[in-house]
Amino acid sequence: MRVGLIGYGYWGPNLFRNFQVSPHFEVVAVAEARQARRDELRRQYPDLKLCETGEEIVAASDIDAVVIATPVATHFPLASRAMKAGKHVLVEKPMCASVAEGEELVAIAKSHKVTLMVDHTFLFTGAVSAMHKLCQSGEMGKISYYDSTRINLGLFQPDVNVMWDLAPHDFSIMDYLLGEEPVSVEASGYCHINPGLPDIAYLTMHFPSDMIAHFNLSWMSPVKMRRTAIGGSKKMLVWDDLNPEEKIKIYNSGIELRPEAQRNILIPGSRIGDVFSPRLDRREALAGVVDHFAATISGKVTPIMGGDAGLRVVRMLEMAQQSLDRNLGVAKGRSA
């Protein structure tokens, strides 16, 4: 399949490299606005077609699939035109800027019988694969909470707030692991650098199954943390993505109902049972995304990160943004 890549910025080169080595695809064209980046590509790949705008890729008759790695505001126009031209689309996360856009993209993909996939790369990491198995097999028991901390000293982007930058990772992972959509979202944030663009955000979600989810997102932390805890009635797990050796640790839930008389006795340590850290697949996740895109196009698999999944993530972002706006409004003069 002949692929055109739109956007050769931060993530674009990784997509390029992984599509290039795939036996299923051939990258034939790249669109990138900056002259210097195009020159760089030309030196290394003299045969590659280089374009200034994504329009040229979307319109090209000899391209079968389009990969979109541009700012989120451009996802909808590029993806919709590409699909209407009969091209398969892999688009960076988040899929688009609103639920309305997302619903239209899903409809276009369906009516034009093309594949629409969102690059939620994390779903193809060894860690998320292992957690998916744990959650779906019933080994965790009934899930009661999902608690994520995703903080670092950030890149202050002028057009995106911290939630739109970081939460798509969490939302897509949670959606994949637990398969449930929230009934309500409370969000609160604080703008230190750019007025109106929170750089710290706290989100709490409630789910039909009684599960609670919480997200601590920040560009203002001196220390980077990537930590997710998931609590089930049988097992609990902690995923520390920065631990190179033991990313996932699994614990017995340790919750036991004691007779009332003993409830004032402190549990003498901070954990109850054995700890198990499973071996994880170390394959590059993006290679898995590219394979999955090929398998989906060929009809062999149902995508785990198709348009429907991308839309669910955008719906959570929109719900959270509405709550954030309300709370920033309430707190105006203070944090907005």
Which of 279, 299, 300, 329 contacts its own copies by CB under 8 A? 279
Instruction: Map the footprint of its own copies across residues 156-195, applying CB under 8 A.
Output: 156-158, 183-184, 186, 188-190, 192-193
**With respect to its own copies, which residue has the nearer C-beta, 107 or 267?**
267
Using CB under 8 A as the criterion, what x/- string covers residues 198-237 for binding its own copies?
--x-x-x-xxx-x-x-x-x-x-xxxxx----x-x----x-
Q: Which residues contact 288 (CB under 8 A, 6 or more apart)?
A: 124
| Residue 253 is a binding residue for its own copies (CB under 8 A) | yes
Place of tokens 């790949």: 45
**With respect to its own copies, which residue has the nearer C-beta, 172 or 218?**
218
* DSSP string of 141-191, one letter each residue: -SEEEEEEEEEEE----SS--HHHHHHHHHHHHHHHHH----SEEEEEEE-
Contact 284, 18 (CB under 8 A): yes
Instruction: Map the footprint of its own copies across residues 317-336, applying CB under 8 A.
Output: 327, 330-331, 334-335
| Residue 274 is a binding residue for its own copies (CB under 8 A) | yes
**With respect to its own copies, which residue has the nearer C-beta, 120 or 247?**
247
Contact 182, 316 (CB under 8 A): yes
* DSSP string of 91-155, one letter each residue: EESSS-SSHHHHHHHHHHHHHTT--EEEE-GGGGSHHHHHHHHHHHTTTT-SEEEEEEEEEEE--
| Residue 251 is a binding residue for its own copies (CB under 8 A) | yes
Nearest distance, CB of residue 175 and its own copies, angstroms: 19
Instruction: Return d(Cα 324, Cα 160) in angstroms, integer.
Output: 14
| Residue 70 is a binding residue for its own copies (CB under 8 A) | no
Segment lying near its own copies (by CB under 8 A), choices 80-88, 115-123, 172-180, 196-204: 196-204
Which of 278, 287, 304, 318 contacts its own copies by CB under 8 A? 278
Nearest distance, CB of residue 49 and its own copies, angstroms: 18
**With respect to its own copies, which residue has the nearer C-beta, 244 or 299?**
244
| Residue 21 is a binding residue for its own copies (CB under 8 A) | no
| Residue 42 is a binding residue for its own copies (CB under 8 A) | no
Q: Which residues pair with 189 in a beta bridge?
A: 201
Nearest distance, CB of residue 23 and its own copies, angstroms: 15
Task: Report the first-to-last Cα separation within the chain, whole angstroms.
Answer: 48
Q: What are the angstrom distances between the C-alpha of 281 and each of 78, 116, 136? A: 34, 26, 18
**With respect to its own copies, which residue has the nearer C-beta, 242 or 301?**
242
Which of 268, 299, 302, 329 contacts its own copies by CB under 8 A? 268
Q: At what angle do helices 12-21 and 285-297 cross, to 10 degrees?
A: 60
Contact 304, 297 (CB under 8 A): no
**With respect to its own copies, which residue has the nearer C-beta, 70 or 296?**
70
How many residues interact with its own copies (rule CB under 8 A)? 78
**With respect to its own copies, which residue has the nearer C-beta, 85 or 149?**
149
Q: Which amino acid is at 335?
A: S
| Residue 287 is a binding residue for its own copies (CB under 8 A) | no
Contact 258, 101 (CB under 8 A): no
Which of 18, 115, 121, 144 contacts its own copies by CB under 8 A? 144
Instruction: Return d(Cα 285, Cα 288) in angstroms, integer.
Output: 5
Instruction: Map the footprint of its own copies across residues 119-138, applying CB under 8 A.
Output: none
| Residue 154 is a binding residue for its own copies (CB under 8 A) | yes
